Structure 1
Amino acid sequence: MLQMLIVDDEKEIREGLFAWPWKDLNIETVGCCSHGLEALQFLANNPVDIVLTDIRMPFMDGLELMEVLKRQYPFIHVIILSGYSDFEYARKALQLGAVDYILKPIVFEEMIQCMKKLTAHLEEEKQIEKRVNFLQHRAQQLSRVLRDKFLSELFHAPFPVSELEQCGAEGEVMLENAPHTAAVLRLDRFASQQPSLSKREMDLITFSLDNLLAIVWDKPGWRYHLVNKNTAETFLLSKDHPKQDCYESLIKKLLQYKGLFKSTFTIVSGPMVPGPERIHISLKAALKHLTNTEPNTIFLCPNDMDSWRNLAKDDIYSFDKGEDMEENGDSLTLAKAKQFIKNNYNRSITLREVADHVYISPSHLSALFKRNGITFLKYLTDIRIKHARELLGDLKYSIYEVGEKVGYSDPAYFSELFKKNVGMTPNEYRKHLRLSAY
């Protein structure tokens, strides 16, 4: 039975649609949401085949929801509910991939015909099987967990320079050896006391904040964020030193959802530090000034070298993690490690996992690769990019699907990494292949 989510800000319509005899059409309604952000939170934990959504809704409307669904859940089919005055919106929805739109007030017969057509199409293409396989593959992807773990360590303590590239790549975080800045974003309603919210309310706030920042702040190789799921306190990482207007623009976008967060926002930015391995020092300064910063303001710490050096005096900056190396069996061990990578490059894979497979320590395996003139990460990346180039020649795969098939869950990260290694984006490379064929 196909599973459907109903999204509409009008309670009467939600409840009315939920009560329809959908099971006669082999459809089960698994939930109702009042706006797009609530729908995304639901979809994060519940598999769905069909989303029936209104266009005009608070916080995140139907078109914005569709843009996210197209990127994160391309297998979900969307049907739009539209008033006569929203025809242009409905046209835009069709351009975004909506399978159909239904005018309000809803005519029962029209809805049934629309759903019959869709369910027949889904059964024809065995969409359910495709969705299950996709979700199983997504479940294997550890990149988001690894990303949050990496950023948390980066924000809170000195980070070994030698491990920056490897740990960042495992979490699909691309950092350059360049100056970086940390900032803290606070919901002012929580400034003077611990949040007195139910877990459900806090989950919605942090989930929404996390997703919004992924859209309006994050940029591969340039900006990243980390949300504390218990307090909603958020750390912002950026290359170089953002100016006042950059943070003003961010707050302006967040205030569009003030009815959801019920709060103004304060941002305190630390000083710029020479490299990402010292980002914790920048955050330490930001947190120190946050306690004395008035709500609904933006404060930038002085951006001079002494600002972070004074904070760095008490930090122990030593990362001697070397281990004694064994010489015997290196070639065989490395060969086994390379074969394991070749067999598993299409999913999230870490240095530790490969090292465990060949029964040596991660540092030992890393040294074996370097002894052979290449790093573990470069070897893994080269294999993935090689297969990506082959897959891009097959037009039945979207760019998103190619990235997934070679182990990258974030399309933007995959595109940036591909360009860094090939000299052109996946789209440009695909066009180049087509032109070369003529």
Structure 2
Amino acid sequence: MFTIYNLLIVDDEKEIREGLSTVEWNELGIRAIGSASHGLEALQFISENSIDIVLTDIRMPFMDGIELMNLLVERYPFIKIVILSGYSDFSYAQKAVAMGAVDYLLKPTQLESLFQTFERLVSKMDAVKQEELRKAVLLRKEMILTKFLREEFIVQLLNNQISLDEMEQRASEGEVILDSSDYVVAVIRLDRISLQKEKYSEKNMKLITFSLDNILNDVWDKKEHGYHVVNPENAECYLLAKKEIPESEWVQVKREIRKVTGLLRSTISIAVGTGAQEVVNIHCSYDSASRLLVQTLEEDTIVHHKGNVDTEESASRSHINIPNYVFVDKKEDSVIIQKCKQYINNNFQRSITLKEVAAHVFVTPSHLSMLFRVSGESYIQYLTKQRMNKAVELLKDAKYKVYEIVEMTGYSDQTYFTEIFKKYTGKTPLEYRSKPD
């Protein structure tokens, strides 16, 4: 065997989970490292652990095996899936195999059949090139890092803890585009938690926040309304909208969250803050939404704070004093910038931060940011230019798919990449490929 493969067992029947966990998996080069009672719990486990194979039932509460498989194929395409099914679910099992499941097992499962299925699977997995596995792991790490940087940046925006100087840099690192003139922040609460009518165990709270994060990713971020963050302490959700959101969309968000009401054991309330025309005033919209939610004792409601932020008053509170002059040693700084540019040129194909580049040349991030501006372009402008030039070059070669070019130029989100590329060239990647300049 080249490696030991981690297995997750998913079945809503405790006896089956326990029975499968006792199988001598080590004889096959497999280690059963966990079990879950439904698809939602399985997804949470997979987000926190390295899983190679999922053995899953079809009929389960909250999220069944088919829905789980759809999400795994989308988010973790390297995970192999084996379906468990009863005779009555045989047609579902066949559908699952057509969708990408490597095999299916009928209940009650015979040990010999189980071993034969997994021997074939392990043999195929051993044949996969190690380089392909390494790339998948690296990509996943980059996606996790980008998500962390994005959420950190959004939280700083909401709490007015970021300077204008840092704004462009942090937005780029988190793959956040803030080019709107109409922002609004909404806060979603689980009424039973916020009004102290319900207490949850740490395990249930993690499952709840994980579920909310997934739902909002589908009904908010993927619809390009904006960005979201879920508070792991109290399951409050903060939604940053980059455009005016009609009432019907807020209702839809609420409806989607209600689908897991059995898990949440709570009604949901949403408070929509004041509008903000400037990025520096986003925190005012968040403040107004938070205050409105505190004042709203009625449960299961959607409330709006009417009006816009007073931009002049808010801008004066957010003003950053910048010195009128700064001493620079042009010769030394020129050498530093050249070293930085060379480092960027060699590493832009992966996630790279200003902090990392600054450490490479032994200066502080703020000092390096200033040196770049003095040189005529910001750090982000230079990094983006190198990535876009490479993207243009790669698009001229038809053997590369767009999603591959996204990865090869240091991005993890194809939508974000497309927006940046269109700003840079005036065309989407597909438009450019069909009609290059």
Of the three residues 227, 243, 246, the one matched with 2:246 is: 243
Which residue, out of 85, 92, 97, partners 1:94? 97
1:324 paired with 2:313, answer no
Task: State the SS of the aligned residue for 1:28.
Answer: strand
Distance 1:89 1:412 in 2: 33
Match of 1:22 among 7, 21, 25: 25
| Contact preservation (8 Å) 1:195, 1:231 | no
**Structure 1 residue corresponding to 2:157, chosen from 154, 158, 174:** 154
> Does the residue aligned with 1:316 lie in a helix, a strand or coil?
helix
Aligned with residue 270 of structure 1, among 257, 273, 288: 273
How far is the alpha carbon of 1:407 from its aligned partner? Answer: 2.1
Deviation per residue, 1:77-105 (Å, 9 max, x gap) = 11222344445544543354222233334
Partner of 1:365: 368
Deviation of 1:50 after TM superposition, in Å, equals: 0.6
TM superposition score normalised by structure 2: 0.87
* Aligned-partner SS, 2:276: coil
Where does structure 2 lack aligned partners over 5 or more consecutive residues?
none
What is the deviation of 1:180?
0.3
Between stretches 340-349 and 255-264, larger displacement belongs to 340-349
* Equivalent residue in structure 2 for 1:46, among 49, 62, 85: 49
Distance across 2 between alignment mates of 1:424 and 1:109: 57
**Residue 240 of structure 1: SS of its match in structure 2?**
coil
Residue type of the alignment partner of 1:295: E
Q: Match for residue 305 of structure 2?
A: 301
Deviation at 1:243, TM superposition (A): 2.1
Instruction: Report the equivalent of 1:34.
Output: 37
Q: Partner residue of 1:112?
A: 115
Q: Residue 50 of structure 2: SS of its match in structure 1?
A: coil
**Is the counterpart of residue 168 in structure 1 residue 171 in structure 2?**
yes
Q: Deviations over 1:243-276 (max 9, x none)?
A: 2211110111111111111111000000111122
Q: Is the contact between residue 194 and residue 234 of structure 2 (CA under 8 Å) also seen in structure 1?
A: no
Alpha-carbon distance in 2 for matches of 1:180, 1:366: 27
Counterpart residue identity of residue 309, structure 1: D
Query: How far is the alpha carbon of 1:420 from its aligned partner?
Result: 4.0
What displacement does 1:132 show? 5.0
Aligned match of 1:208 in 208, 211, 215? 211
Instruction: Output the amino acid matched with 2:64.
Output: D
Q: Is the 8 A contact 2:139 2:412 kept in 1?
A: no
Tell me the residue number matched to 1:131. 133
* Structure 2 SS opposite 1:57: coil
The amino acid of 2:320's aligned partner reads: F
Give the length in aligned residue pairs: 429
**Maintained 8 Å contact 1:285/1:311:** no
Q: Does 1:223 align with 2:214?
A: no
* Change in 2 beyond 3 A, CA 1:101/1:234: same
Deviates more, 1:196-205 or 1:228-237: 196-205
Query: Which whole-Å CA distance do the structure 2 matches of 1:371 and 1:3 have between them?
Result: 51
Aligned to 2:188: 185
TM-score by length of structure 1 reads 0.87
| C-alpha deviation, 1:379, in angstroms | 1.7
> Structure 1 residues 37 and 419, CA, compared in 2 at 3 Å: closer, same or farther?
farther
| Alignment check: 8 A CA contact 1:53 1:81 kept | yes
The gaps in structure 1 that reach 5 residues or longer are none
Q: Distance in 2 between matches of 1:123 and 1:43?
A: 21
Deviations 1:175-219 (A, max 9, x none): 114210001000011122286333222222112211221122213
What amino acid is the match of 2:121? L
- The residue matched to 1:266 in structure 2 has which SS? strand
Cα 1:362–1:135 shift into 2, 3 Å: same
Work out the CA distance in 2 between the residues paired with 1:248 and 1:45: 31
Q: Percent identity of the aligned residues?
A: 45
Letter in 2 for 1:316: R
- The structural deviation recorded for 1:63 is 2.9
Q: What amino acid is the match of 2:321?
A: D
Question: Offset at 1:285?
Answer: 0.8
With over 3 angstroms needed to count, the CA separation of the structure-2 counterparts of 1:92 and 1:384, relative to structure 1, is farther
TM-fit CA distance, 1:163? 3.6
Cα contact 1:264–1:295 (8 A) shared by 2: yes
Q: Deviations over 1:35-85 (max 9, x none)?
A: 222112211222111111123322222233233323332211112223444
Tell me which amino acid in the other structure corresponds to 2:301.
T
SS of corresponding position for 2:334: helix
User: Any idea what SS the aligned residue of 1:270 has?
Assistant: strand
